[in-house]
Amino acid sequence: MVVPPLIYLSSGALSLVSLRKGAGSGVTVLVGAGVAAVLLAVLLSNSPVPGIVFTLAVWAPALLVALALRASASAGIAVTSAVGLGLIVLITLTLLVGDPAKTWGEPIGKLLGPMLNNAGIDPGSEEAKAGLERLAALIHGVLAAGFAAGTLFGVFIGRWMQSLAYNPGGFQEEFHQLRLPRLLALAVIVALIGDVLLEGRAGDFSRDLTLILLTGFLFQGLAVVHGLVRLMNAHIAWLIGLYALMFVIPHQLSLLLALVGLADVWFDFRARKGPGAAPS
């Protein structure tokens, strides 16, 4: 419960330096933090590998996305950059690991076996094995999408801290204007078609690609909701309720928000409720 917030805060701190001071200072902080992570890993596990992996998988991507945000001053560019890095992760996993169901099926079974037993489900049953195999088949897409979302979360924390210190209200304005390119929306449609029509590894890759792309549109969906709440002078309780629901039905609500973000590419819901919108 403690570690994930610390990870995001550390990425946020690195992003803050990169956003404020630029690439040189960001790289300096990255190298220093990486050395500290490697030393800590050696002390705890007698191996530098965990520290190296953490630095390359968490802090280095945050630095790259933060620099993209600094250069563009566009939350949409930041999201697109993170989605692109997620795609690189997916391709790397696909090439190095191969079939995720075969590779991850047994480890996931061992991890979730006790939970299934506690729920009164026999992990060795055919139904349980089939469910675990389906879950294992999704692991590459889930990891890549989680990587992109986690990177963005850390960078946006850094942008928020920068806004508090140097430009109050700036992060809110930037986030409310978040829009992804229509080309990315078309890529979602192509990936969905591939998921339906293609079989085997190509179909699996299309499904994983869809998951990564929709992660980007999840952020646009959140931006739409935040923007509409502000434009309509709605009570903040709407946002509190939204995030509370994220803990109750995270998968369903995340998909709904991603679809809202995808539709916003064509319908621009915020412009329809903006100051220049025609009265309804």
Give the integer Cα–Cα distance in Å for 268 and 128. Answer: 43
pLDDT at 171 over 60: yes
Element (H, E) at 119: none
Kindly state the tokens that stand for 27: 């790289």
Instruction: Count other C-beta atoms under 10 Å from residue 95's C-beta.
Output: 8
Instruction: Count other C-beta atoms under 10 Å from residue 11's C-beta.
Output: 27
Given this model, what pLDDT does residue 4 score?
74
Instruction: Count other C-beta atoms under 10 Å from residue 209's C-beta.
Output: 24
> Which of 221, 202, 210 shows the shortest CA–CA distance to 186?
210
Q: Tell me which residue has tokens 């220093």.
A: 32
> Which of 109, 21, 31 shows the shortest CA–CA distance to 70?
21
Q: How many CA atoms lie within 13 A of 256 on its CB side?
A: 9
Confidence of residue 280 (pLDDT cuts 50, 70, 90): very low
Contacts of 210 (CB under 8 A, 6+ apart): 141, 188, 191, 192, 195
Three-state DSSP class for residue 209: helix
Confidence of residue 279 (pLDDT cuts 50, 70, 90): very low
> Which of 272, 223, 228, 276 shows the shortest CA–CA distance to 78?
223
Three-state DSSP class for residue 204: helix
Q: Global pTM?
A: 0.91
Give the integer Cα–Cα distance in Å for 226 and 136. Answer: 34
Give the integer Cα–Cα distance in Å for 241 and 53. Answer: 37
Given this model, what pLDDT does residue 1 score?
40
210, 195 in Cβ contact below 8 A?
yes
Question: pLDDT by residue (tens digit) across 212-263?
Answer: 999 999 999 999 999 999 999 999 999 999 999 999 999 999 999 999 999 9
**For the residues 85-102, what does the mean pLDDT come to?**
90
Domain boundaries, the chain: 77-272
Q: Where are the alpha helices (DSSP H) in 73-199?
A: 75-97, 100-118, 126-137, 139-166, 170-176, 182-197
Q: What SS3 string covers 120-145?
A: CCCCCCHHHHHHHHHHHHCHHHHHHH
Looking at this protein, which amino acid is placed at residue 4?
P
